Amino acid sequence: MRRLIQLTPWAVSVALGLIPTAAWGRVKLITLPVRQRVEVQLDHPDVTLVEEERVVPLVQGTNQVDFSWANTRIDPNTVVFRVLGPAEGRQLEARVLSVSYPPNEQALVWQVASSASGSALVRISYVLGGLTKSFHYRAVAGHDEKTLTLSQYLLLQNFANEEYGTSGLWVGFGEGIQKPIGLNETKQVLVNKFVGVPVEKTYSCSPTEFGYLDPSQNKLRVPMHYVLRNDAAHGLGGAALPYGKVRIFQDDGKGTTAFLGEDWGRFTPIDDKMKVYLGVAQDVVVKRTIDRNERRRLAGNLYDHEVVVKYEIENFKDTPVTLDVIESLDHLRNEIGIGSARDVQWELGGQTTFQGGPDRDETSFNRLVFHAPLPARQTTDKAEKTVHRLHMIIHNEWQ
């Protein structure tokens, strides 16, 4: 992209208070000097802001500065030109008088008044299309799956039809990065690396969120996740973790890593959790059935419903695990034939066997989360069956 500055000294009104009245001078056309500094702000999810600084020669009087961007994806409505002050040598005062748009051109022309001849430092900022960023992660879990190393990468793609050389990149957190931005270039940059991050491996079942592995046998699907907490106590917490693809590996204990899979990590604010999917567990089996479904008339068409959900759980792993049992009360109402659209009113019954009750941090008015510790299998071919019951009383339903 070629940018020109046209310098035209001419008469300036005495009211400007800059220079005395002068006659027309000659016209000089020079190439706009190279950029002294470039900053690219990538913190906004949809917009890329570019700020570039240049040292521009000005003559005493009014200078016509021509800024063009043919074939470059600059938004002309966002271009801002500012004179920061003298660059070096002779002191001068300069200010922008006006801006105009040449017809049928991708260009802007500023009228800049200068009190003396010399160099001025100017800043040009604009929103640029085609210069995009995304994030992705590489997570390597230890052999014992207690900690992992999380590497965070920035993927920068420049299809703006312009190159910027070494530029300062700001992604919205951490320290700035100095990297060259080439024409039509895709660049991967390591932003952060977190070592020894505590991780929790979870096993979960939910008929609504994860569905059934074998509906005919009432066997629920049991997905596995790694769960990271974005806080200082877990080696993170310096900034939110942006949305991005997570490729997951595990140390195999032999000096190499095994690929476990990949998932999309959601945007994770500080003190929140990121969950990444590992696959479906084949060695934790959950059979879910409705063990009891009764209703009691209160008045007219108003009833209370008493429901007991039974879970038969087997852990075929050599190590004990904890299963998260999740129930949607709207789903449970539909399952027993209520089908109401109003908010559910419920009470936990005395036949519930989950120790400690529902998880207070994870449970809402419509979603219950319980934790069920499961012992390791004792023999090579048999697992101890753990049976839990969820006893619910659903109040004031119309039939």
Q: Would you give the end-to-end CA distance of the chain in angstroms? A: 72
Tens-digit pLDDT profile for residues 367-379 = 999 999 999 988 7
Q: For residue 27, is it within any domain?
A: yes
Q: Give the number of domains in the chain.
A: 2
CA distance 247 to 138: 5
Confidence band of 179 (pLDDT split at 50, 70, 90): very high
Using the 8-state DSSP alphabet, how is residue 266 labeled?
Answer: P
- Pick the last residue of a domain from 85, 105, 128: 128
Q: Is the dihedral of CA 47, 50, 51, 57 positive or negative?
A: negative
Identify the pLDDT of residue 279. 95
Tens-digit pLDDT profile for residues 58-111 = 899 999 888 888 889 999 999 999 999 898 767 889 999 999 888 888 888 889
Q: For residue 278, is it within any domain?
A: no
For residue 298, pLDDT over 70 is answered with yes
Q: For residue 238, is it within any domain?
A: no
CB-CB contact of 331 with 393 (8 Å) = no
Write down the pTM of the prediction: 0.79
Give the three-class secondary structure for 234: helix
CA distance 268 to 274: 6
Question: For residue 9, what are its two tokens?
Answer: 């000294």
- Pick the last residue of a domain from 94, 128, 162: 128
Q: Which domain holds residue 62?
A: 4-128
Question: For residue 237, what are its two tokens?
Answer: 């917490």
Residue 148: burial class (beta carbons within 10 Å; 0-12, 13-18, 19+): buried
333 backbone dihedrals φ, ψ, rounded to 5°: -60, -45
- Pick the last residue of a domain from 128, 160, 192: 128
Q: For residue 306, is it within any domain?
A: yes
Residue at 214: amino acid letter: D
Q: For residue 248, is it within any domain?
A: no
Give the three-class secondary structure for 15: helix
Q: For residue 311, is it within any domain?
A: yes
Using the 8-state DSSP alphabet, how is residue 268 labeled?
Answer: B
Q: For residue 394, is it within any domain?
A: yes
CA distance 326 to 343: 18
Q: For residue 230, is it within any domain?
A: no
Question: For residue 344, what are its two tokens?
Answer: 């559910």
The H-or-E segment that residue 152 falls in is strand 147-158
